[in-house]
Structure 1
């Protein structure tokens, strides 16, 4: 539940900071000059600016943040046979997937994990943990790399950002419509904004933010099945299944909260509520999907 709280709190905090900033700049003219009703067009524009700004900034900085937060060492020039194999494997997979060559990096962590991120499919980063290199066979590691390259080829980072921006827009828009309605209908405020508008808007934004997070997490889980299928095409279905089985039996910790959506696996035994906020489906379901497709 701590991760759920942090995810929702961070998203709501970004929306609130942007809302206050634009309010101070006089951008949020959501009441018309006569104060007789909502200017829905202006409100929608305001909501879109607030909703997409944070998501687009996060996308643009995704590689930089990933490198810093995970201390990724990008392989500029391979120093040994293992690094040369990593770079060459990603190069072949990127060519097969029809994307530009991603940066390839390694981060120091005992857990077996990997992630891909970047602003577009021709300017991405694929990184693996030292634990994965030590704990997996070459064929299994190749499948994990193929899974991450498939994420890049599918444009998952951009799509996830756009979905987050859309749901943020509706959260901002609907929360202010609800706040305005309560303020006018229940508390009979005739002009401007009363205290009820700000309080109701804040509460509605939190509640709608939680519901919106479920939508974003649903897509995040869906894209994992697609990346598994892409990994199976690039590296072989049995290798992809073998890699997921290795992860299932590893009992390793997931990536830090800020990077979990980008990793190849996350918590293994979710509760009913936690499942709604999972970035990844359970490994058992992913393995079953690959076997069923075969």
Structure 2
């Protein structure tokens, strides 16, 4: 489970930082956005900018939060096989060779992230390498390579950027209305508002962002089915099904940091379906069998 929450969490942090900077600039220099088109432009710059800054940072953050060690020179036969398998599948998928890394964790998981198809990172846990046979691992790697080949992270960036734009825009529109109503329209001439306006906007952005995350999670679930199909093509349908069945016993036991849990292959459970980054494994297996 490791691509979405890393991205979304970083995205939220960047947005908060950008908002604080903007409020400071507005207060110090008395900058005002006097019309909706100006506000929408500012929201688009902040929203899309925050999203793609998150995307650009995704590999670095993934390495830092998991402690993933990139394999530059294979130290043993297992690492050599891992590199060769990723290289072979990347060539079949028509993408550049991604960085390959291993991180120390007991759970069975793997993830891929990166700015583009030719600048990606594929990482697997030690738990996955120890608990699955090579046919299963090959299918899991095919699943992750397919995420990269499909450009899922870039598409996620675009979706998140558009949603960010409307979250920022609507939060400020609603915030202005609420602030004016509570202050008796004393702030109606100022679109920058004061400290209370800042608090209202921050609360609204969190609330609206929570709703927007449902759209992001829907896309995340949909792309898992596509990645499973790609894993079946690259690693064998039976191997992909076998790997998912093996992962079924791993549900609820992920050791990934919360910020990047949605980026892994194993998915998540115990959450309302609207906020699940991965479909239930039973549905994924059923989709593979139906496609066959």
Do the two structures share a fold, i.e. TM-score over 0.5? Answer: yes
Contact 2:59 2:114 in 1 (8 A): yes
| Residue in 1 that maps onto 2:218 | 218
| Residue in 1 that maps onto 2:208 | 208
Contact 1:28 1:46 in 2 (8 A): no
Q: Within the alignment, does 1:24 sit opposite 2:30 as a pair?
A: no
CA RMSD after TM alignment: 2.5
Report the Cα offset of residue 80 of structure 1.
1.5
1:276 to 254, 262, 274: 274
| Residue in 2 that maps onto 1:35 | none
- Measured in 2, the distance between the counterparts of 1:185 and 1:264 equals 48
CA deviations 1:21-42 (Å, max 9, x no partner) are 023224995543xxxxxx1111
Contact 1:179 1:196 in 2 (8 A): no
Contact 1:28 1:42 in 2 (8 A): no
Q: Within the alignment, does 1:82 sit opposite 2:83 as a pair?
A: no
User: Mapping of 1:1-294 within 5 angstroms?
Assistant: 14-26=14-26, 29-32=31-34, 39-184=35-180, 187-189=184-186, 190-192=188-190, 193=193, 197-251=197-251, 253-254=253-254, 255-268=256-269, 270-271=270-271, 274-294=272-292
CA deviations 1:41-85 (Å, max 9, x no partner) are 110111112212322222112111111211111111112111111
Change in 2 beyond 3 A, CA 1:46/1:181? same
Report the Cα offset of residue 287 of structure 1.
0.9
User: Which blocks of at least 5 consecutive residues in structure 2 are unaligned?
Assistant: none
- Measured in 2, the distance between the counterparts of 1:14 and 1:223 equals 25
Report the Cα offset of residue 99 of structure 1.
0.2
- Measured in 1, the distance between the counterparts of 2:252 and 2:199 equals 43
Provide the aligned length of Structure 1 versus Structure 2.
281
Larger RCO, structures 1/2 (Cα 8 Å, 6+ apart) = 2
User: Which blocks of at least 5 consecutive residues in structure 1 are unaligned?
Assistant: 33-38
- Measured in 2, the distance between the counterparts of 1:28 and 1:164 equals 30
TM-score when scaled to structure 1?
0.87
Change in 2 beyond 3 A, CA 1:131/1:198? closer
155-164 vs 143-152, which moves further? 155-164
- Measured in 2, the distance between the counterparts of 1:216 and 1:196 equals 30
Report the Cα offset of residue 292 of structure 1.
1.3
1:280 partner SS: coil
Contact 1:114 1:263 in 2 (8 A): yes
- Measured in 1, the distance between the counterparts of 2:261 and 2:172 equals 31
Report the Cα offset of residue 199 of structure 1.
4.8
